[in-house]
Every structure is written in structure tokens, then in C-alpha cells.
Structure 1
């Protein structure tokens, strides 16, 4: 959450696919509403279905931040021919970005304390590192600098 996946995906390819947008279209409601009604487990099941479908296409895909929490999703990403880019940051930077972003309210941010969010971050980081084909440290870098590093 808050690493800039959508921003960087858009710079890589203006016609990128945002997984969250595909999921919203499929479930017919905002993800935060779906979380309230059906819960995270149901959301993750739909997320896995969408991920499997999207990895069978070509192009740039921006996944949701929690996609790596599912062993099935990590398997899908590892077996795909896609380059998996991990936009790595420290927790404090991500927390500040998420707190400041009023246009993209994340269900996990609303429902968890800072300590709980840090635990989520610490659980996800090694999973991202394990499947990434490229790790880009983003702290203190502009989106354009991150893009140049990816393309190098």
C-alpha cells in the first residue's frame, strides 16, 4: 500500500491494467464496501481469480498491495512469464503516503492501527522480495527516477 504501483504502472504503459479496477468492475461495488459486506477472505478469492486471468495476457498490471499474502497468488506470479517489480520502501514513508492520500482510502488502513499496519508491512515485505524479478527502492525518488531505474 502506498508504494506508487498505479503511478509507476501508468508511466510504464498508459494502457496498463489496474487489478483493483478489474475487481471493482467484477464485484460491482467499491472494494471497501465489499470488504465490509463479505470480508477479506472473499476479496482475496476474487483477487486470485483476477490475477490468474490477467497473468495470461500481456501488458503492465498493477496489483493490489496484499496480492502476495496468498500462497496461490505467489505461485501464479512466480510461474508467469511476467517481470514482477517490487517497489520497496520503508514503513514510515508508506504510512505517511497512505495517511495523506484522501482520494484512495484503503480498507486495511481504516481498520488497523499504525502498529497493526506495520505488522502487515513486515509480513508482506519478504514475500514481495521472494517473488520479485526486480526490486526498486523508491524512498526519496521521483516517479520518473523510479521509471528510469526500472527501464535500465
Structure 2
């Protein structure tokens, strides 16, 4: 069985994936390996459109795998990606939170450089969040509200 974790940046997809499976796949890591540079550098050099093309290729390949896969926050912005996810025989878990909580988590994360966070104002990020939220919900097979919960509590809820 394949499990995809989806949600906005800062929702803890990688953290939860690590706790669900030792051999989880982080799509961002796969993409970095493929492009040979940090995603933020690729964004700056090639643009978001080129990044989204590579992201779709990687998603198509990974949808054939089994296991736990942490996706990038923008995976749902593409019609093709939503189709790939919906057609995969997979559980799609949306790690849902309110924008203020996510913004605070992103602001405090000094190890993960997020191109959109660097380039956008808080208001612009909130607009992106509000655009994506219904797309996450549309394809999710399970929605887990993460606000105020520890990673362990989230894992317990997923495994119910």
C-alpha cells in the first residue's frame, strides 16, 4: 500500500513520514538528487514552471511504488498531479492546519529553505494557502487536523 502525505509547507509531512516508515520517500529529496542542486536554487534559475514539470515526473514514477511518500506543499497545484494522486491505489493523508500555525512553524524552521516563503509576503502566502486548501481536501482520503498535536498524536490518529 502506498501512502502519500499532502499539505501546505510547514505541516510536518517529512516528520510524519519518518515516523510512519523508516524507508519513507521524501519527494523533495528525490527532486534535489535529480536536478543536482537545492530546490531554492533551481527555482531562482529555472523558475517555478520548470520545477513543477520535474515534480510531476517524479510523482508519476513514485506513484508506482509502495510505502510512505512525503510530497511537496505545491503538489496539488497541477491538474495532472491531482489526477495521478487520485488514480493511484493509495491512501492520501492531508495534514491540515490553520495558516497562522503553519506560518509560525515555517518562520522558525531555519534548516529548510522554502522558495515561496523567501519570495512572498505573509499576505501572498496566505492567498496561496487559501487556494491550495480546497485542493488538498478534494483528493484526500483522510484529513488529519494537526494544530496543537505532537507528531506522536498525529501518528496515532493516522493509524486508527
Q: Which TM-score band applies after superposition, normalised by the shorter structure?
A: over 0.9
Three-state SS of the structure 1 residue aligned to 2:73 is: coil
Q: Distance in 2 between matches of 1:126 and 1:35?
A: 25
2:78 equivalent to 1:98: no
2:93 is the counterpart of 1:78: no
Matches within 5 A, 1:61-76: 61-76=69-84
Q: Which residue of 2 aligns with 1:39?
A: 47
Q: How many residue pairs get matched?
A: 152
Gaps of 5+ in 2: 1-8
**Runs of 4+ deviating beyond 3 Å:** none
Distance in 1 of aligned mates of 2:135 and 2:67: 23
| Cα shift at 1:39 | 0.2
How big is the alpha-carbon RMSD for the aligned residues of Structure 1 and Structure 2? 0.3
TM-score by length of 2: 0.95
- The residue that corresponds to 1:127 in the other structure is 135
Q: What residue in structure 1 maps to residue 11 of structure 2?
A: 3
Structure 1 gap ranges (5+)? none
Q: Structure 1 residue 81: deviation in Å? A: 0.5
> More strand per residue: 1 or 2?
2
Counterpart position of 1:17: 25
| TM value normalised by structure 1 | 1.00
Structure 1 CA distance for aligned equivalents of residues 62 and 155 of structure 2: 22
SS of the equivalent of 2:118 reads helix
> 1:55 matched to which residue of 2?
63
- Among 140, 147, 159, the alignment partner of 1:139 is 147
